[in-house]
Amino acid sequence: MAGIHWIKLKTAMFDDEKIRLIESMPEADAIIVIWIRLLVLAGKTNDSGLIYIQRDMPYSDEMLATLFNRPINTVRLAMKTLESFDMIDVNEAGVISIANWDKHQNIEGMEKVRIQAAERAKKYRQRHQKAIPDDTDKSNVTRNVTVTASNATDTDTESDSDTESDLDSNNKKHSAASASPSAQLESEFDEVWSQYPNKKGKKQALSHYKAWRKKSVQHTNAYLLERLRLYQQDLSANPWKSPMNGATWFNGRFDDELDLTPKPQNRGYQKNTRKEIVPQWAKDQKAQYDSNHGTNNPISDDDRKRLADRLAKLESKVD
């Protein structure tokens, strides 16, 4: 990536609620310094707020402690604090990303630096390839041209990104029709986001989406839309589940293993054979009731016969 030589810091930075809370914590000064150092690293990487040495080589806590000249425990405390305040995010691969980087930095200007650097390197290679004799060792030429182009890119990038005003004025001269890669990613993200059921955490979801797309050419919208379709099936099959926040699902949770096996349905009535346990106090009350109402003294057969005879005599007298 073509790094830039400046980043934006707000003059009201220390009035921010999160910064003020951090200032009340132990090692506050060290945490704030590490926060600013991370912002600088993100500017050097110049990849939508991501921080890494190479795409497949993230910074470890030990590396950051060496770069920042801080104890490893202080760096770990700072990383944990900043992550808890949602100021940074660390994905499963260990890549750090600055939250809301697009909101606070001149993304269009940074994107233009990357595009111009790539175009200059391409033109430089083309010019040198035309000047190369046919019998020249192409492997050596390619290697030399690549090194020279890289140096030229660094020099040109520095001149193009000295001030933010220069970038802004150059951006206005470019046609609006030539969309930047960042704008293209946002457009493709909106396609997936419009179908996602829980619209919470869009900014963080976009940041996770960009980081995921840039890791591999195999990370496509088609794959993500298919995972979303399966996730929606899983939600339909399990109504007790609630859809995750968008920021959570886009942070790699779309690769969660889903059980889409049809659940067996209960097609008939099943008698409840559970035996009810009657508490002792209820048994005591029933015994008292039976005692008061004579249910424990049933009528004998003789008594029942005598009652029947008396009833018959009374009925005969009435007739």
Tens digit of pLDDT at every position of the chain (319 positions):
555 678 888 888 899 999 999 999 989 999 999 999 999 998 888 888 899 988 789 999 999 999 999 999 999 999 999 999 999 999 988 899 999 887 767 656 556 666 766 677 777 777 777 665 554 444 444 444 443 334 434 444 444 444 455 555 545 544 443 445 778 889 899 999 999 999 889 999 999 999 999 888 889 989 999 999 999 888 888 888 889 999 999 999 999 888 777 666 555 555 555 566 767 777 777 777 777 665 555 667 777 787 778 777 777 765 5
Q: How far is CA 7 from CA 46, 65, 78, 304, in A?
A: 10, 22, 21, 105
- Provide the 3-class DSSP secondary structure of residue 89: strand
Residue 239 in tokens:
């109504």
pLDDT value at residue 145: 40
What are the beta bridge partners of residue 13?
A: none
Cα–Cα dist 210/74, whole Å: 30
Question: By C-alpha distance, which of 154, 153, 144, 143 is closest to 122?
Answer: 153
Cα–Cα dist 55/48, whole Å: 13
Collect all residues with Cβ–Cβ distance below 8 Å to 291 and sequence separation of at least 6.
Answer: none
pLDDT value at residue 5: 78
Cα–Cα dist 253/92, whole Å: 11
- In terms of pTM, does the model score above 0.75? no
Cα–Cα dist 33/23, whole Å: 11
pLDDT value at residue 160: 45
pLDDT value at residue 69: 92
